[in-house]
Structure 1
Amino acid sequence: MNRRTYEEVAVGEELPALPIPLTRTLIVATAIASRDYQDVHHDPGLAVERGSKDIFMNILTTNGLVDRYVTEWAGPAAVVKAIRIRLGVPNHPGDTMTLTGTVTAKHDEDRRVEIAVRGENGLGAHVTGTVVVRLPSKVAT
Structure 2
Amino acid sequence: MKAGDELPPLEIGITRTLIVAGALASRDYQDVHHDPELARRKGSPDIFMNILTTNGLVGRYLTDHFGPTAVLRKVAIRLGAPNYPGDTMVLKGRVEEFDGDTAVVRVTGDNGIGRHVTGTVTLTVAAAVTVPPGGAG
TM-score, with normalisation over the residues of structure 2?
0.91
CA deviations on 1:34-89 (whole Å, 9 max, x unpaired) are: 11110000000110111111000000000000000001100011111110000001
Provide runs of 4+ in structure 1 moved above 6 Å: none
Cα drift, residue 106 of structure 1: 1.6
**Which amino acid in 1 is paired with 2:71?**
V
**Which amino acid in 2 is paired with 1:96?**
T
Q: Does 1:85 align with 2:83?
A: no
Cα drift, residue 136 of structure 1: 2.0
Which position in structure 1 is the counterpart of 2:106? Answer: 116
Q: Tell me the distance in 2 between the aligned counterparts of 1:134 and 1:28.
A: 31
Q: Does 1:45 align with 2:37?
A: yes
TM-score, with normalisation over the residues of structure 1?
0.88
Q: Which runs of 5 or more residues in structure 2 are unaligned?
A: 133-137
Question: How many equivalent pairs are there?
Answer: 131
- Cα 1:39–1:112 change in 2 (3 A) is same
**RMSD in angstroms over aligned alpha carbons?**
1.3
Written as runs of structure 1 = structure 2, the 5 A alignment for 1:99-138 is 99-108=91-100, 111-137=101-127
- Cα 1:113–1:44 change in 2 (3 A) is same
Identity of aligned residues (%): 58
Q: Tell me the distance in 1 between the aligned counterparts of 2:128 and 2:50.
A: 37
Which position in structure 1 is the counterpart of 2:90? Answer: 98
Does 1 or 2 have the higher relative contact order (CA < 8 Å, sep 6+)? 1
Which position in structure 2 is the counterpart of 1:6? Answer: none
SS in 1 for 2:46: coil
Q: Tell me the distance in 2 between the aligned counterparts of 1:55 and 1:138.
A: 41
SS in 1 for 2:23: helix
